[in-house]
Amino acid sequence: YYAVELVNDSLYDWNVKLLKVDEDSALHNDLQILKEKEGTDFILLNFSFKDNFPFDPPFVRVVSPVLSGGYVLGGGAICMELLTKQGWSSAYSIESVIMQISATLVKGKARVQFGANKNQYSLTRAQQSYKSLVQIHEKNGWYTPPKEDG
């Protein structure tokens, strides 16, 4: 379902290849097309861990491909309460976080943006988006969709 590689042998910086998403999803079909076009059939996520992990969540962003929907924001930041201090629990395993991200992308109807400028995803832009999403949700709370939505 996924593969993990350390970036420059650092335990604080991981690249996670999301190799499988729900096969009934449009995102799954997009990844098949991406494989034909670019030879890549996975979503590359980057996890950065702080010294105080597991007490603080990792910072997670999409590196590639560029996605629309799926709660993916500018720069590749992911809008999930689970990935904020408020929603995080030190009991979460990284595997469960990866599975949750995969489910969130599908539930949010993420689609690959073919032909999009790949440079629009960067760590700096993702961190800015993340900061503003946290401020918005701290002020307004998080919306929990009804059970029948998934």
**Token pair listed for 51:** 């010294």
Q: Based on the number of CB atoms within 10 Å of its own CB, is 15 exposed (0-12), middle (13-18) or buried (19 or more)?
A: middle
| Interatomic CA distance for residues 149 and 106, integer angstroms | 12
Rg for the chain, CA atoms, rounded: 15
Q: Which of 18, 72, 79, 80 does the annotation list as catalytic?
A: 79
* Cα–Cα nearest to 3, from 14, 12, 13, 11: 14
**What's phi and psi for 107, nearest 5 deg?**
-60, -35
79 carries an active-site annotation: yes
Handedness of CA 120, 122, 124, 127 (dihedral sign): positive
Positions annotated as catalytic residues are 79
